[in-house]
Amino acid sequence: MSKSKHPSRPSPLQLDLANRLIQQITTGELPAGTHLTEESLASHFDVSRTPVKAALRLVAQQELLDYHVNSGYFVSTNTSPKPVPDKLVAGVSGDALYQQMIHDRKHNLLADTMTETDFLEQYAVSRSLLRGTLVRMAADGLIEKRRGQGWNFPPIVSTPELMTESYQFRIVVECAGLLESSFKADAEQLRNSRLAHEKLLYQAQAEYSATAFFALNAAFHEMLARFSNNRFLLQAMQQQNQLRRLDEHLGVYHSPHQIDSCKEHLQIIEALENDNREWASALMRHHLSVARDIK
């Protein structure tokens, strides 16, 4: 008598990749019709194609992807943004570990450089779950894989005093960048940014993603720095975003300040669309000053 074969359970990494893809689809980050290839996703998540292939199958089971023979997977055109629960696919999720590691790093409970063994001594989790969580953090820019063994955490703004200095620096640099003689706004990029802000602003509470807010916020400030056509100003803005990344990922609520921040960004975009850079610079000074005082 032959034994019936039961399908193997998805690995923690496969589940984590599936969860992340589902979140990107349901929040609109991956719009309907987007072609998802194993190669591009493996490169994006810095993993092999094997777990990506399994993750795509899991997402397709949720009826969020359509499979076309000889073409692959596409985001379903019947998909509409919806609330994203903590666990989207049955099984172990890396969300709790992800949040705990961010919290511990912010509070200096994790060293600048750590190996997998160091992490496993700190957290009672499986090695596969740890690796999946580290891959996710690396994709979000919260940790970097060393060329040899181990992982490096990037520098962070770890004290209120440093945060204040950071905002003071940004007030000087960003406001001046808007007034640079070399500044040239791209109308299409401004329009796309405005639409993205409006979409996020009018999302329901259950649909809100703190990660999506940070990504949009960082992209907005880097876009304006890029318009200055000054590479050093852009590098400074990218560095500031990196320093703030860990702190921003601790936020998980649709706070009034984040709503106000979106509205202030839209005012700056409107000023630039009207070619009023002096007013845009004044609005930016107010925007950063308010954020500084709240922090």
- Residue range of the domain that includes 120: 95-152
Q: For position 4, what pLDDT does the model report?
A: 41
**65 and 121 belong to one structural domain:** no
**66 and 113 belong to one structural domain:** no
Assign residue 51 the CATH number of its domain.
1.10.10.10
Residue 36 has phi, psi (to 5 degrees) of -105, 115
Is pTM beyond 0.75 here? no
Q: For position 206, what pLDDT does the model report?
A: 54
248-270: pLDDT as tens digits? 665 544 456 778 889 999 999 99
Query: Which of 26, 42, 75 finishes a domain?
Result: 75
Tokens representing 32 are 């309907």
Q: 108 lies in a domain?
A: yes
- Residue the block writes with tokens 């989790």: 125
* DSSP per-residue letters across 31-55: -TT-EE-HHHHHHHHTS-HHHHHHH
Between CA 33 and CA 73 the distance in angstroms is 9
Task: Say how far residue 251 (Cα) sits from the centre of its chain.
Answer: 12
Which of 14-18, 37-41, 151-155, 196-200 bottoms out in mean pLDDT, i.e. has the lowest?
14-18
Q: For position 46, what pLDDT does the model report?
A: 76
Residue type, 188: E
- pLDDT beyond 90 at 51: no
- pLDDT beyond 50 at 79: yes
203-243: pLDDT as tens digits? 755 555 666 777 788 899 999 999 999 999 999 998 888 77
